[in-house]
A = this chain, B = another copy of it.
Amino acid sequence: MKIKITETALNPWQEIENYQANKSELSGKFGATNIFIGTMRDFNDGDEVTSMTLEHYSGMTEKQLATIIEKTQQNYAILDVLLIHRVGLLLPNQPIVLIAIWAVHRGDAFDACREIMEALKSSTPFWKKENLTEGSRWVTKNSKGYQT
């Protein structure tokens, strides 16, 4: 299991490939991988967003993520978790978060990934500030996750 908070631009494919390659104990044992990647859009609530600043509560963030993962491991049979979250200045099309779950079976992988993602959004101390073409604004709530 690995949790990483980083100010550096994130290449999710490289991260997953490297992580998996170094986990020899996973080889041949997992049948299902589910991966979620949240990526910065260049629009939100009808406005153009030129960049975003992600603030976090260092220390509590890692603690909260570990708690979320631990709880999910009690709910689903999963083999491994990789979770990386960006902080600092982000540009459109850059990944914000990566969650990868390895499991024997697909249902456990899908459900665990979804549960961790929803818990992360609702309880981990990250805050987004969007920079618009004119001015900036704090994001005050999460979307429900579906096109309306």
Closest to A44 in B: B31
Cβ contacts under 8 Å, A31 to chain B? 38-41
Interface residue total, chain A, C-beta cutoff 8 A: 41
Partner pick for A13 among B14, B28, B77, CB 8 A cutoff: B14
Copies of this polypeptide in the complex: 2
In chain A, positions 21-56 with a C-beta closer than 8 Å to chain B are 27-43
A-B contacts, 23 of them at CB < 8 A, read A13-B17, A27-B93, A28-B92, A29-B43, A31-B40, A32-B36, A32-B38, A32-B39, A33-B35, A33-B36, A33-B39, A34-B35, A35-B35, A36-B110, A38-B106, A103-B147, A105-B143, A105-B144, A105-B147, A107-B145, A108-B147, A110-B113, A110-B145
Which residues in A have some Cβ–Cβ distance to B below 8 Å?
13-14, 16-17, 27-43, 76-77, 92-93, 103-110, 113-114, 117, 143-147
